[in-house]
Amino acid sequence: MKQKVNVKEMGYYDAMAHLGIPFFNWGGLKATEELIEMCKVDETKSVLIVGCGSGYQAFHIAEKYRCKVVGIDIAENMVNWAKERAENSNLDEQVEFQYGDAMNIPFDDNTFDIVITEFVSIFLKDKDKAFIEYARILKPGGFVGINEIFKSNENPPEIDEKLKEVEKIFEQISCLDFPILTPKEWKDFFEKAGLVDISAIECEPKQDFKEMVKSVGGKWKFTKLTLKILYYTMTRSSLGKKLRGVGRVKSGFRKCRDYIGYLLCVGKKPI
Ligand SMILES: C[S@@+](CC[C@H](N)C(=O)[O-])C[C@H]1O[C@@H](n2cnc3c(N)ncnc32)[C@H](O)[C@@H]1O
């Protein structure tokens, strides 16, 4: 018998998993590929994906680079979804998913060659602690690669105001932190965690529509998901309220698009 789910009680990303949204990072797999190159992933490396969501990027890396990939996430629904996908794939020997908090990573020091984390650190209450954790579980010589939203250093006052509004709306609907930081502020976390050779690329805020369709399994499934989202958006449910908030966040971001983007930033743990 199917268990009744209580969406109202769910955390924001548990609800997004319940809806069936497979990925969130700006830049999609193109951005992940750039991080992979910057972090020098190959089949001899072990990779930890922090905030792995449904495992979208983890499966891509495991399949393409034939390396061992572990994903952790704090949303149980995301982890269960990723585990289910692993069981139904031919990658179950290579990928592994478990519950885990970025600020208290459940692995020993010097375990992984690479940490990749996309659209996660922005939400963390203690970002300093998280970056120290990323560095701690890396082997010496290993890389941390992040993909995070950034804003320009200098913005017209109306843009700063709009971004503040976006932060507030998203914080309200997700109950998570959502400070939009500058590239310098992101790089500072790497430095404070003792990472070196820090390099960064600033990219325009892009989502590839074709990739979004493909990621959910084609046009028909994408249409079904869109209709489901539209349906919830029009309801008075808590999910409807969240989704209307997401709409406002997206529209706020569109108005600021010349001043924001996604930052790919990589640092190395000293040998
Ligand atoms: C915007 S989604 C990004 C998912 C995936 N990385 C992607 O780019 O598609 C943010 C993810 O971070 C996870 N997350 C939030 N706080 C976390 C924490 N403290 N530890 C681990 N994961 C966390 C959420 O559950 C969610 O799956």
pLDDT for the residue 5: 67
Q: Domain of 202: which CATH number?
A: 3.40.50.150
263 close to 30: Cβ distance less than 8 angstroms: no
- Residue 121, pLDDT score: 98
- 160 in any annotated domain: no
Regions of the chain where pLDDT drops below 70 = 1-5
User: Is residue 253 included in any domain, yes or no?
Assistant: no
Q: Which ligand 1 atom lies nearest to the CA of residue 53?
A: 27
Does residue 21 form part of some domain?
Answer: yes
The full DSSP string for 23-57 is ---TTHHHHHHHHHHHHT--TT-EEEEET-TTSHH
Atom of ligand 1 minimally distant from the CA of 13 = 25
Best residue among 34, 123, 132 to mutate for probing ligand 1, ranked by most atoms within 8 Å of CB = 123
Contact call for residues 140 and 113 (beta carbons, < 8 A): no
pLDDT at residue number 4: 61
Name which residue sits closest to atom 14 of ligand 1, judged by CA: 51
Residue 100 covered by a domain: yes
Q: Note the pLDDT tens digit of each residue in 139-174.
A: 999 999 999 999 999 999 999 999 999 999 999 999
Range of the domain at 113: 7-154+179-207+262-268
Residue 14 lies in a domain: yes
Residue 240 lies in a domain: no
pTM of the complete model? 0.96
227 falls within a domain: no
Residue minimizing CA distance to atom 13 of ligand 1: 51
Provide residues with CB under 6 Å of ligand 1: 13, 23-25, 50-51, 53, 56, 72-75, 78, 101-103, 118-120, 123-124
3-state secondary structure of 109: coil
> Which helix (DSSP H) or strand (DSSP E) does residue 130 occupy?
helix 127-136
**Per-residue model confidence (pLDDT) at position 236:** 87
How many domains does the chain contain in total? 1
- In a domain? residue 159: no
Cα dihedral angle (9, 53, 253, 39), rounded to 10 degrees?
150
Structure confidence at residue 207 (pLDDT): 83
Cα distances from 268 to residues 58, 85, 233, in angstroms, run 21, 31, 43
